Structure 1
Amino acid sequence: MVVHEEEPFNAEPPPGALADQLITPLEAFYSRNHGPVPHLDAATWRLVVDGLVTQRLQLSLQELRGRFPEREVVATLQCAGNRRAGLIEVRDIPGEAPWGPGAISTARWTGVSLADVLAEAGLRPEAAHIAFAAPDVSPLADPPQPYGASIPAAKATSGEVLLAWAMNGRLLPAVHGAPLRVVVAGWIGARSVKWLQRITAQAEPSGNYFQAVAYRLLPAWADPSQAGPEEGISLGPAALNCAILRPGEGARPAPGPAEVTGYAFAGDGRSVARVDLSIDGGRTWAQARLDKAAGPWAWQHWRTTVELPEGEVEITARAWDHTGAVQPESPASLWNPQGYANNSWARLHLTCSR
């Protein structure tokens, strides 16, 4: 793993570790944390469901597993800061981890549908948002506060949002949210709250720092230290993105035919329709072959063979989704002071020599 911080622990796999594996092994799954990892006792842990509901619930893990149908969803989670390094190349972003293209991973999640739990509690008509609370305290907020976030009730009551206790057939490790986490398929990873302790139905979005202040897309001229609650755009559904996984940055392949592989992810239930590659700066393009996705909420891998010339070469990749949307060309047009949502064309620089 490429470790960006030891405490809180933030790490991503090298790009090659994500190639050819639709389901990411646990040891290669990226880790994004905002404070020390809590170690909760599953036997004494309880989940509270309250707020604008007709029946307040308090559930042990055993009760949660016994009262609701078990469900499984293959879903890709992507950090909002994935590929931030490309924005840092445009202009420095002090204090933010230089995530490469590995802050994204896919798992087979097992749990219960959040919609089923909310139906048991009985949402009142005025419940427009579902907030999640966790015990991990982050010093990024001033004063420090536990992590929290929310999603609209319409998303929360869709069947793909899980309360998960397992990934890839194994109980959640502590670093990935044991004993229970939310998995909000198709949305930025920040909304998939780990170490979940409370679910609150409410009329307004969460006022937690990580919903109201952080994970908001500020304009390029804004000062994040002076930004107040509700400024900028609240990040939710994941943006269309792609990356080149193999060959690796700085590789020195021989001129001639070479296989290029990568991933593409549309987010929020959209599907990837096409991935194009260019080795001449975007003057001409060739279409890559898309592998079959592991599910409607998962990334797709792609691959193609290109003819590499001798000398310096830049491989460029761009993805299209089924609505006809395409990735923007330049990271310069996307630069923002917290380095979120870089979904510009993927670029790989190589030196080809015999």
Structure 2
Amino acid sequence: MSAEKPSAYRVAGTAPAFAVAPMIDWTDRHCRFFHRLLSRRALLYTEMITTPAILHGDRARLLGFSAAEHPVALQLGGSQPEALALAARIGADFGYDEINLNVGCPSDRVQDGRFGACLMAEPALVGDCVAAMKAAVAIPVTVKCRIGIDDQDPGPALDALADAVVAAGADALWVHARKAWLRGLSPKENRTIPPLDYDRVFRLRARLAAGPRPVFVGLNGGIGSLEEARALMDRVDGVMLGRAAYQTPALLAGVDRAFYSEAEPPAAPEAVAGAMMDYIAAEGARGVPVAAIARHMLGLFAGQPGARAWRRILTVESHRPGADAAVVAEALDVVRAAAAARAAGPEAA
């Protein structure tokens, strides 16, 4: 391993104030390329990838990504320190900027594998996992967790997990401010039940900030807009949006100004759509179906004239045999026509 570098989470002005959450089946490489066109600075995450998949699967397919995606973090799922250390080293060799350990996913498949949110009950093991990964790589190692699981008291549960990973050298803790219910609720139900508890995360951040080694604490869960996210920055070190960023991706165009004081104008949705046509053409030459990329773009014009037609055309036409980047061009023409009709007003009808 190379000499340890200063963590980006500890260098003033470089901490990732805004991140797009890792989301299974959503934040694949095509989604991340699309999101990067909207924000140059947001920290992007892969979907959770299990350590067995990385150690024994097709690494190029699982871990390959475009250099344009930086900064991008690899999220791992696992609970065996040695395996996680090896997977983290592989991820670092692929060029990822951060390795993140999933301690928050509540799905049955994750529980069966003894990783994800069920690890909230084993803080010492999580600490061992973090220590092993820290020893294996020179890039930041972080943890994404819940405030507790099932009948745990979120107070001691979150503190125990946080103290274990801080002692192990974790560079940051991203906290989804909701309990994970592993029994009695589906993962979908657990997106809104039980209630969010931001105050619990605020207290953790205040306690760790006063400690001998202050650690970055970021907040995730239920944040629906940049305005909401920006208002939280007085109480935490960073914010992470999930479904809102995915379903209304145009909001990402405001991230660089709102969170990083960038002076450049935000990316225009039409320009982003044009860039994605080039990307679709390039990926299509490598055998990637249009539908695999277009599905991430459905919300680009949310709330704007022609948004419904945009979604319909991308959804339907991208699945047709021989579909190519022209599908996006067709949908974009409809959006432009709808915008022009609104601008002309009723008297033009």
What TM-score do you get using the length of structure 1 for normalisation? 0.27
What TM-score do you get using the length of structure 2 for normalisation? 0.27
The structure with higher relative contact order (CA 8 Å, sep 6+) is: 1
Specify which structure has the higher proportion of strand: 1
